[in-house]
Amino acid sequence: MSYFADLPAIRFEGPESRNPLAYRYYEPDRLVLGQPMAEILRPCVAYWHSFCWPGSDVFGSGTFERPWLGGPDALAMAEAKADAAFDFFAKLGAPYFAFHDVDAVPLGRSIREGWSNLDAIADRFAGHMERTGVKLLWGTANLFSHPRYAAGAATNPDPHIFAHAAAQVRAVLDVTKRLGGTNYVLWGGREGYETLLNTDLKRELDQLGRFLALVVEHKHRIGFTGTILIEPKPCEPTKHQYDFDAATVHGFLSRYDLVGEVKLNIEANHATLAGHSFEHEIAYALAHDLLGSLDINRGDPQNGWDTDQFPNDLNEMTLVLYRILQAGGLKTGGFNFDAKVRRQSIDAIDLLHAHVGGFDLLARALLNAEKLIADSSLADFVSRRYAGWDGGFGQDILAGRLSLAEIAEKAAAGPEPHPVSGRQEMLENLVQRFI
């Protein structure tokens, strides 16, 4: 399979390069805060959008001529797709990839046939991984595309469908461990409802809680040392999904005693669909030690759905990296390009252009964030703004040494406090100096 054979291998040429197929900022081995850039970012290619999507939309059929899409022998096509994918990873210099089970191989007509097919393609992945050095960031099971999951997988009214979903997850979690994956992701695309008229919401949440507990139990049983992740999204395909946003998932994990066992895979486009910024969702996850990994893409502000475009907002990504670096960086996670080229970008080279731009955006934002941290002006301002809580009165309140009545008496006996400016405009100007 030589679909990508004519594409050049991407090399670093520096910021002055005019070559559209060269890295201007992404240097895998460059040290940033003492670590190689590639290890901090862990950039990852999404198997599904890059190699499985045919370029179709709800109004038209596929526009991409990928030779592995279709054909009489589905398993042979899956093998050809894997060969092409790892050829692409090598051209790009991508250190990681991620996949769903149905992206990698057809699951066949029965659970056991699906297991057999998945094992076969895992063998092929393993050979390519050993040859190229590309690693698995995470695996996941697709529990939303098949008609059986129209009413959900774990939240389905039929326990036999719950069991079918469990069989898929067990198989992919086993393969993820076998391939050395550092995370396992659960996205509840159909775990929600279209109408409350036919929905027992409490029952469905209890089912979902039990399902996730079973996944965690199996993780420990097989000795998988990676992180279990949930990927929040508010809607689409369902009207309302139970994993609406980071705060909702946090509450769910607390309710079912799973905090500490499960973290979050935050996606940029999902954050904006929930009415948040990407930075907000990351900040919330970091504040509660829930951040595991990231899917980076963007939506179109004029479209109210998940357009999964490649990221290009340097301001946003700089602040995202700044927050993550301040918190000590990602542990097992990375930056997965859960993004697809546009339907009119029909050539193989378009896929390369998209990822080169994405890698460079990440790298440039990382270097900006490094400068923001070294300068320390932003962090120092925030520390000064809350300094009162570090003193005696603030600490007495937080430690519970004062009752509500005692706090009220201190307020009545003291002078009128005067608000201090938040200096938002100054801080926005400050950040721009590092972009």
Contact 231, 264 (CB under 8 A): yes
100 is catalytic: yes
User: H/E element holding 369?
Assistant: helix 348-375
Q: Report the DSSP pairing between strands 135-140 and 183-186.
A: parallel
* Structure tokens, 137: 């960031």
What is the DSSP code (8-state) at residue 5?
A: T
User: H/E element holding 135?
Assistant: strand 135-140
Smallest CA-to-CA distance from 230 within 221, 241, 239 is with: 241
Strand, coil or helix: 91: helix
* Structure tokens, 94: 């991508």
| 166 vs 146: CA distance, rounded Å | 14
Q: Which of 101, 103, 243, 308 is catalytic?
A: 103
| 273 vs 275: CA distance, rounded Å | 5
Give buried/exposed letters for 19-58 (b at 16+ CB in 10 A, else e).
Answer: eebbbbbbbbebebeeeebbebbbbbbbbbbbbbbebeee
Whether residue 237 is preceded by a cis peptide bond, meaning omega within 30 degrees of 0, is yes
103 is catalytic: yes
Crossing angle of helices 278-287 and 246-255, rounded to 10°: 30
| CB-based contacts of 308, cutoff 8 Å, min separation 6 | 49, 269, 297, 299, 338, 339, 340
Q: Which of 49, 87, 100, 295 is catalytic?
A: 100
What is the DSSP code (8-state) at residue 309?
A: B
Q: How many CB atoms lie within 10 A of CB 420?
A: 9
| 155 vs 188: CA distance, rounded Å | 9
Strand locations in 178-238 (E): 183-186, 192-193, 227-230
Active site residues: 100, 103
